[in-house]
Amino acid sequence: MAAVRRTVVGIFLCTALLPRLRCESQQVALDLESELQPYLESYCISCHGEKKQKGDRRWDTLKLPITDTLTLLHVQEILDILNLGEMPPIEEEEQPSASETKRIVELLTSTLDEHYATLKSTGQQTVFRRLNHREYRNTIRDLLHIDTTSFDPTQSFPRDQTDHHLDTIGDQLVTSAYLLDQYLEAADQIIEKVFADSERPPQKTYRFTENFRQQPELDGALRDWANFEFIALYETPLSQRHEGAYAKIHGFEQGVPNDGLYKIRAKTIAKNRIHDHPERRVSTNQKEPIQLGIVPGDQRYGDLSRPQPIEPQLAHFELKDDILEWKEATVWLDAGITPRFTYPNGMVGLRGNFGPIANAISTQANREIKNVDFSDRRLIAMKYGELPHIQIHEVEITGPIYDSWPSPSQKA
């Protein structure tokens, strides 16, 4: 009952205020008509009238109230000039008082605010609008049963216009000729994706147990430390240099051959969550378990050891300290996508600390490191520094897994 009462009172107040607001608006328009023209005649028309039009501007023909866009632009220009204090020129003998100009500026501002609001308004009518990117992608997902985790047919679409950070305002969502072309391109991509496989693709298992080469920066250290026997993850993907932040599977850069569900198994171990390094060098939260993530990678977008434009988290695990264990997840991978491993709560800025960490190790060992280059310091830090990291000793990928054929997308 109280809610109904508040609603009724609110409607009453709004209804009661409307005539007052309308009257105030009309009064501003009347005041502007009666006060602006005398102001212009006194201080502006001599330079912007019938005989002389400085700057190709003529204000003696200005008609009020504002009824068209051109008049609106002219009034806006007058307001801008007055706000900047550029008119009337200081060399003119006839100058308005500060109070006169302030009054005109207030009237112009109120009038323009009202007209801009009117132009922006749809007159309380719902505007028929197109789908924004998110809605288009979700509609394709729901209608055709396409997994859009890594597939985005709207990537080449122009950015959706927003109004107060909202991307669902009809009169802001422009439909251009270019966007229509991109709709056709997206339709081709979608149809090709749905019917890429006319026959059920065979299920295969890919197993990786050695030669875990990573990015070139770490290759030398991983070779000398462990002969590429495991993947090593050190940094968070949020780091700047991304040294040991993204681990690809060497020999599987081309990705899976077909769209579908794939079971990914990784034999992992979390090392050195608890350590003695100062936080300024090794910035991890020792109270948190070490975390392992899986994100998609596509070599068409560039280096698999670096961030890519589309990399949603496909799977996430918490690892136990110093226990070699299998972790598995069944995830959707598009053809050409390869899984990459990440360490979401790993270190930041490790590259800049390899030197200090290596020096600290030499001090503890009562020996001095001399005449070694940066790669040697990296090796010393990684091999002897007891840094928090993840090791992955084996990876299996099985798929594509389909419960039935034709696929749900093809049946749709």
Q: Do 43 and 94 form a contact (C-beta atoms < 8 A)?
A: yes
What ranges do the domains of the chain cover? 2-120, 133-194, 204-411
Confidence (pLDDT) at 198: 85
**Which helix (H) or strand (E) is 318 found in, with range?**
strand 315-318
Beta strand 246-247 with 260-271 is unpaired
Residue 180's Cα: distance from chain center in Å? 23
The contacts of residue 340 (CB under 8 Å, 6+ apart) are: 246, 247, 248, 249, 294, 295, 296, 297, 304, 311
How many C-beta neighbours within 10 Å does residue 112 have? 16
Confidence (pLDDT) at 27: 60
CATH of segment(s) 204-411: 2.60.120.260
Measuring CA to CA, which residue among 212, 252, 254, 251 is closest to residue 233? 212
**Tens-binned pLDDT, residue by residue, of the chain (412 aa):** 343 333 323 322 233 333 333 344 566 556 666 777 788 777 787 788 777 878 788 777 777 777 778 888 888 888 888 888 877 777 777 788 888 888 888 888 888 888 777 766 656 566 678 899 999 999 999 999 999 988 999 989 998 888 788 887 777 788 889 999 999 999 999 999 999 888 999 999 999 999 999 988 888 888 888 899 999 999 999 988 888 899 999 999 999 999 999 999 999 999 999 998 888 888 899 999 999 999 999 999 999 999 999 899 999 999 999 999 999 999 999 999 999 999 999 998 888 888 888 888 766 544 555 556 777 788 888 888 888 999 999 999 999 999 888 888 888 7
Vertex 76 angle, CA 70 and 80, to 5°: 145
Confidence (pLDDT) at 6: 39
Confidence (pLDDT) at 32: 67
Confidence (pLDDT) at 8: 29
Buried-state track 181-192, b at ≥16 Cβ within 10 A, e below 16: ebbeebeebbee
Q: Is 127 exposed, middle or buried (0-12, 13-18, 19+ CB in 10 A)?
A: exposed
Give the chain's radius of gyration (CA, Å): 34
DSSP one-letter string for 383-402: HHS---EEEEEEEEEEEEE-
* Sheet (strand 246-247) strand order: 246-247, 338-342, 291-297, 315-318
Confidence (pLDDT) at 7: 33
Q: Which two tokens stand for residue 142?
A: 């729901």
Q: Which two tokens stand for residue 308?
A: 């890519």
Rounded Cα–Cα distance for residues 368 and 393 (Å)? 33
**Which helix (H) or strand (E) is 356 found in, with range?**
helix 354-364
Measuring CA to CA, which residue among 205, 293, 215, 218 is closest to residue 253? 215
